[in-house]
Amino acid sequence: MRSKTNNNKQRAAEEFKPLETDSIFESLPVSLHIIDAEGVILYANSKCLERYEINAEDLGKISFSEFWADEEKKVLWFDSVKRDGVVNDFEMQLKTSSGAIFWALGNGISIPYQNQRCILSVQIDITERKRMESALKSNEEKYRLLTEFSSDVIWIFDLRKERHTYMSPSVYYMTGFTPEEIMSMDPSEVLTPESYLLVRESIEKNLKDFLANPEAQKHYIIETRHLCKNGEVIWVEASTKYRYNELGAIELIGASRNIEDRKKAERAVLYLSYHDQLTGLFNRRFYEEEVQRMSFPRNLPLTLVLGDVNGLKLTNDAFGHLAGDALLKQFADILNRELRAEDVAARIGGDEFILLLPKTDAIGAEKVIRRIKEAIKTQNTGGAILSVSFGWAVKETLEDSFDVLFMQAEDRMYHQKLLESAAMKNETIQLAARKLYDRNLLEFRHSENVARLSVDIGKAMGLHKDVLADLLILGRLHDIGKIGIPGGILTKKNQLDTGDWIEIRRHPEIGYQILRSADEYVHLAEAVLSHHEWYDGSGYPRNLRAQEIPLTARIVAIAEAYDTMISGNTFRMPMQDKAALEELTSHAGTQFDSEIVKIFVSEVMGKTLQ
């Protein structure tokens, strides 16, 4: 068969006769030339001369080989023509005489010409087509890279088939499923039941919009929960658009991304907006919204309970804010343990808590509060005292106002607070003193000595027995503010540095804040604040002078100074009795009240100093 075909080509070539005129060749819109066996161009039409940028005078002198940009293609083309006698639609990368590269689609056939075997070649310029193909290929590569290497998942969903027809590879990193697995699955197998229903409803609604106006460039955003191959469930946000594909079918094109981290952040923000950061209970904002949500007949009777932590400021002053925070968290833990799942507990202020107890009457409320109080008694608070006063009111009908309920509960709570808070505060002060003395035995001995000496001075001055009673307590509690000073400073064996003294000088103010919190001790707070003032006004913390300083503070100042001198401390040796009295006398009128110093030296100590 091949032999017969070649014979036909050969016969056609033998019958080729050059025209007397080349008018037909000249009118062709393509390049045409004839070359001999060596490749020399013997004839070229005008289009060829123009394309290769050569002159007619050069014909017979230049070779077609000079115009090939690809040497391998040139050899292949010449060999094919010589072997087969004809080559059709051969892509050539050629160049002009100036070096400009162009593409051509060439046909070649072996013919007799000027008494020799030659090749007639016709080239159609396809440079623009190749440029467009290259651009298209570049774009396809770019879009392929965008879809395959984007962290977002690009997909196409056929609405009629209800299957994905394209899924980018990044779906594997998001869900663990391969694109092929996802495209073979029904959407109900990928989405949670709630999200599947949401998607169905969204498609039904948005498809109507699209059919009503297909030209509108509408995009839709939807958030759904997707099942991963490992069993996890993640939040996914999809941006979608409807279109008609080339077959006229409606497709949904989308880009999906994992928004689990964003959702976690949103949940954290939402949690913080409705929860108290310290205790983890709900906050006032949640409570105010919850009272509206609970205003339904099914929740009646509804009891509102107010709880106020007694002496929280005193605890903070005496033991530090960390101790106060610990009490609040312990109380919150008790509420979480003792309340029912449907009950609501919220912290609405620094020391104020509120409970909402649905389907609970007054008797039920009393039982709940009794249970909470029992739990408070058995709670290990680490030393501080947890005491909470409660008040409650019951909403019997929907018409009952929550504002009125709140005031009723608040009145009952304050009544309880009057009965319970004072005892708790007094106990806290005693606890603070014990902790201070347990931490430093020298402080206990010092406070007892100062109390005894202060009472002795008061007796020598003929003061009333009530004042003597105050001096006894004041002597024991004058340094209670040291409970707020780091223990390492109080027991430091070396000389105190500037920072240490700054801390030490805070103790009168701390003691003042502690004592003024309790009714039993509030009248002594001013003396505690002033016991380091100097008679000449150069003391601290307020630079009081002379009679501005409370009498009891002036007495305690002398008793404290004397005991400190004769007892010594961790960094100073004790002084002899006489030397200590001389030191007091030398500072009479400056640091100490001179009249009280005289009474102390002569009457209390029974000394006469020269």
- The region that residue 224 occupies, defined by phi over 0 for left and psi between -120 and 50 for alpha, beta otherwise, is beta
Could you identify the residue written with the tokens 């059709």? 88
Q: At what angle do helices 362-378 and 321-338 cross, to 10 degrees?
A: 130
CA-CA distance, 323 to 586, in Å (whole number)?
44
Q: Kind and range of the H or E element at 108?
A: strand 101-113
Residues 6+ apart with CB under 8 A from 392: 303, 304, 305, 306, 362, 365, 366, 369, 409, 412
DSSP state of 425: H
Q: Say what the pTM is.
A: 0.63
Backbone angles phi, psi at 334, to 5 degrees: -60, -45
Average pLDDT of adjacent 10-residue blocks, the chain of 610 residues: 45 44 75 92 92 91 92 91 91 92 92 91 89 72 62 89 90 93 93 94 92 88 95 94 90 93 89 93 94 91 96 90 94 96 95 96 95 93 89 94 94 91 89 86 91 96 95 94 83 81 91 90 95 96 96 96 87 87 95 96 82
Report pLDDT for 138: 64
Amino acid letter at 52? Y
Domain boundaries, the chain: 2-131, 150-263, 278-420, 440-604
Superfamily covering domain 2-131 = PAS domain (3.30.450.20)
- The arrangement of strands across the sheet holding 31-35 comes to 41-44, 31-35, 116-125, 101-113, 86-95
- Classify domain 440-604 by CATH architecture: Orthogonal Bundle (1.10)
What is the reported pLDDT for 25?
Answer: 81
pLDDT confidence of residue 513 = 93
CA atoms within 13 A on the CB side of 265: 4
Instruction: Say if 2-131 and 440-604 have the same CATH topology.
Output: no
* Secondary structure of 111-176 as H, E, C letters: EEECCEEEEEEEEEECHHHHHHHHHHHHHHHHHHHHHHHCCCEEEEEECCCCEEEEECCCHHHHHC
**Superfamily of chain region 278-420:** Reverse transcriptase/Diguanylate cyclase domain (3.30.70.270)
Is the CATH number 3.40.50.720 carried by domain 150-263? no
30: CB partners within 8 A, 6+ apart: 47, 122, 123, 124, 125
